[in-house]
Amino acid sequence: MQLKTRHWDRTGNGGLTFTELGFGTAPLGNLYRAITEDEAQATLTRAWELGVRYFDTAPLYGLGLSETRLNRFLRGKARDSYVLSTKVGRLLRRCAPDESRDTIGKFFDVPARREVYDYGYDGVMRSFEASLERLGVDRIDILFAHDLDVFNHRSQAALDAKLAEFMAGGYRALLELREQGVITGFGAGVNEWQPAQWLAEHGDFDLFLLAGRYTLLEQESLASFVPLAQARGIGIVIGGPYNSGILASGPKPGAFFNYDPAPQAILDRVARIEAVCTRHGVTMVDAAFQFPLRHPAVVAVIPGGQGVAEVEANRRAADAVIPPALWAALKAEGLLRAEAPVAP
């Protein structure tokens, strides 16, 4: 069975066709643990065999390692046979091995580089050119301004300064690249819906990659951002559909939520969601994958995969049949917002 696809064309430039199941390549940058080159290539190969044709990466992911691993994998594949997105907002600088550092401190055994935030015009252009080199391609379909959120910049005041820097420089660079046809679309990849909404209200954006904020566990973004995106034809890519792991692992001790061990309130809520899924004969991870795709603004869901087994599990989730009664029961127990779309 082929993966379902969704076509997006906001500006009339031909748009892009996404497989609903995409591949988020942060794990290929040795997120949380190092994997070998052979493991990375086997994982990508299995994803391709299973029909995945949308790949998202970023300079952050392993300080360029994810992009270079994609380079090896994509070499020889027809450029029109897949959709590729990467990100701007961080530049990689060479450094001594003992000074190598990523800004979130969660990548291991990475190249000797340091990250520097740069959302200015020149910084975005340099980041784009460097990604083309690392990826070994002649074009990138989507550029996302990366991590313009409080989670990464630690305070609203610091984020406001970065947003101002981006809108004064990097945004203009992205507009030029789109107008020149060098990229098909641009947007931002963020961990919070509020800055995505602010950007949508202040610029001409095509797509947003929203990590973890429209999931089976969280739907606050339905109050304003998601309807705004839908009204403007802005596509939404959902990253982190399992909220960093807890919707896949279940509410076990030490389960991850938002990149850290889940607090008790989250463990309790996930336990309630899992209980409803079990009553309806549904695996929670399957429901978690499929829920965001019930919204017409969502063009793809991109769980990560650090091994063949995880990729195969994501494909099973994409193919699972979810009874409508599950969604009704979750709404009846107050675990899904009443306005959340659930029709296939």
The stretch 170-184 carries a mean pLDDT of: 97
CA triplet 135, 132, 145: central angle to 5 degrees? 100
Of residues 105, 106, 109, 38, the one with CA closest to residue 73: 38
Position 68 scores a pLDDT of: 98
Whether 141 is in a domain gets the answer yes
The stretch 243-253 carries a mean pLDDT of: 94
Answer yes or no: are the C-beta atoms of 144 and 83 closer than 8 Å: no
Answer yes or no: are the C-beta atoms of 300 and 237 closer than 8 Å: yes
Position 304 scores a pLDDT of: 86
Whether 232 is in a domain gets the answer yes
Whether 337 is in a domain gets the answer no
For residue 209, give the DSSP letter. Answer: E
From 54, 61, 119, 242, active-site residue = 61
Residue 1 pLDDT exceeds 80: no
Of residues 208, 196, 219, 213, the one with CA closest to residue 148: 196
Residue 259 pLDDT exceeds 90: no
Is 56 an annotated catalytic residue? yes
Of residues 155, 134, 133, 159, the one with CA closest to residue 145: 159
Residue 38 pLDDT exceeds 90: yes
pTM here is 0.97
From 87, 102, 141, 242, active-site residue = 87
The stretch 41-63 carries a mean pLDDT of: 98
What average pLDDT does the structure give for the chain? Answer: 96
Q: Which residue has the tokens 């994810």?
A: 66
Q: Which residue range forms the structural domain that includes residue 105?
A: 5-332
Of residues 153, 149, 304, 145, the one with CA closest to residue 213: 149
Q: Phi and psi of 236, rounded to 5°? A: -120, 125
Q: Which residue has the tokens 């603004």?
A: 297
Query: Which contacts of 318-324 are long-range, i.e. CB under 8 A and separated by 24 or more positions?
Result: 318/3, 318/4, 318/20, 318/21, 318/289, 318/290, 319/1, 320/282, 320/283, 320/286, 320/289, 320/290, 322/282, 322/286, 322/287, 322/290, 323/280, 323/281, 323/282
The stretch 148-159 carries a mean pLDDT of: 97
- The dihedral built from the CA positions of residue 151, 153, 158 and 161, taken in this order, carries a sign that is negative
Whether 160 is in a domain gets the answer yes
Position 30 scores a pLDDT of: 96
321's CB contacts (< 8 A; 6+ apart) are none
From 56, 102, 141, 206, active-site residue = 56
Amino acid in the structure at residue 241: P
Q: Phi and psi of 300, rounded to 5°? A: -165, 155
Residue 29 pLDDT exceeds 90: yes
Is 87 an annotated catalytic residue? yes
Whether 341 is in a domain gets the answer no
CA triplet 209, 211, 217: central angle to 5 degrees? 135
Amino acid in the structure at residue 178: R
71's CB contacts (< 8 A; 6+ apart) are 134, 135, 136, 137
Of residues 101, 107, 295, 328, the one with CA closest to residue 193: 295
Whether 326 is in a domain gets the answer yes
| CATH code of the domain covering residue 27 | 3.20.20.100
Q: pLDDT confidence of 225, banded at 50, 70, 90?
A: very high
Report d(CA 56, CA 18) in Å as an integer.
11
Whether 274 is in a domain gets the answer yes
Number of independent structural domains in the chain = 1
Distances in Å between the Cα of 67 and the Cα atoms of 72, 85, 194, 234, 292 are 9, 10, 28, 26, 26
Distances in Å between the Cα of 239 and the Cα atoms of 10, 210, 213, 242 are 21, 6, 9, 9
| Residue-wise pLDDT tens digits, 298-320 | 999 999 888 999 999 999 999 99
Answer yes or no: are the C-beta atoms of 325 and 43 closer than 8 Å: no
Of residues 74, 78, 8, the one with CA closest to residue 41: 74
